[in-house]
Amino acid sequence: MPLTAVAIRHVAFEDLGHLDAPLRAAGYAIRYVEAAEGSVAALDPLAPDLLIVLGGPMGVYEASKHPFLGDELALLRARLAAERSTLGLCLGAQLIAAALGARVYPGPAKEIGYAPVTLTAAGAVSPLAALPANQPVLHWHGDTFDLPAGATLLASTDLYRQQAFAFGRHALALQFHLEADRIERWLAGHAAELRAAQIAPAAIARDAARHDAALRHAAAAVLTRWLFASS
């Protein structure tokens, strides 16, 4: 029987991207669950071999507007308590932090575009060590969070200290987007946000073209190392 991976998706264009092929190569059958369709509550938190919570434009603190966020937090609390493999990307990382009891809140400014992260000492011996030195990654967030109790900080930027953390061997939370590919879909889907932030889509598109091949390789390497370490 193949391993099972369930990916919770919040907007159609933020999918597994660069992570899809290495997951399938590692023997996972992938199923998407669309958060806005209300199907998160029906998920068995312990059933998938791997749960991946993807990004989205909403804030963890907006559960009154998006009730599915409460369902995701309940799912994550149960899953993390059972030490089941869980990966969070951007909003997914923030939801993992909240499920572990940390505060999630608006950050100092939008951080959108390609820039490197700085690994901590722990990050340098983690799966994130597969990132080439000074490799730009895609940032697309305006929220941040406190580091949960018992978590290990793995990476930072000057603007956002909490860029990645591990919780035991079973949970990895990345504020940045290693998975992002087909960036033109992101530029269209987030056009209003980019316009409000006065960020030129063409500059992001140029950086995406420049870094996509390296990031595809890096994403596969980071994911493969983490899957091996968390199994």
* CATH number of 19's domain: 3.40.50.880
pTM of the predicted structure, to 2 decimals = 0.96
pLDDT one-digit tens code per residue, 54-75:
999 999 999 999 999 999 999 9
CB 201 within 8 A of CB 191: yes
How many domains in the chain?
1
User: Burial of 192 by CB count in 10 Å (0-12 exposed, 13-18 middle, 19+ buried)?
Assistant: exposed
Is there a contact between 55 and 30 (Cβ–Cβ < 8 Å)?
no
Residue in the block written with tokens 């193949």: 2
| H-assigned helices in the chain | 20-25, 68-81, 91-99, 183-189, 191-196, 201-230
Give bridge partners of residue 174 from the DSSP assignment: 89, 164
| Full residue range of the structural domain in which residue 118 is found | 3-230
Tens of pLDDT, residues 187-231: 999 999 999 999 999 999 999 999 999 999 999 999 999 998 876
Q: How confident is the model at residue 164 (pLDDT cuts 50, 70, 90)?
A: very high
Instruction: Band the pLDDT of 19: cuts 50, 70, 90.
Output: very high
- What is the tens place of the pLDDT at every residue in 76-99? 999 999 999 999 999 999 999 999
**Residue 51 confidence (pLDDT) above 80:** yes
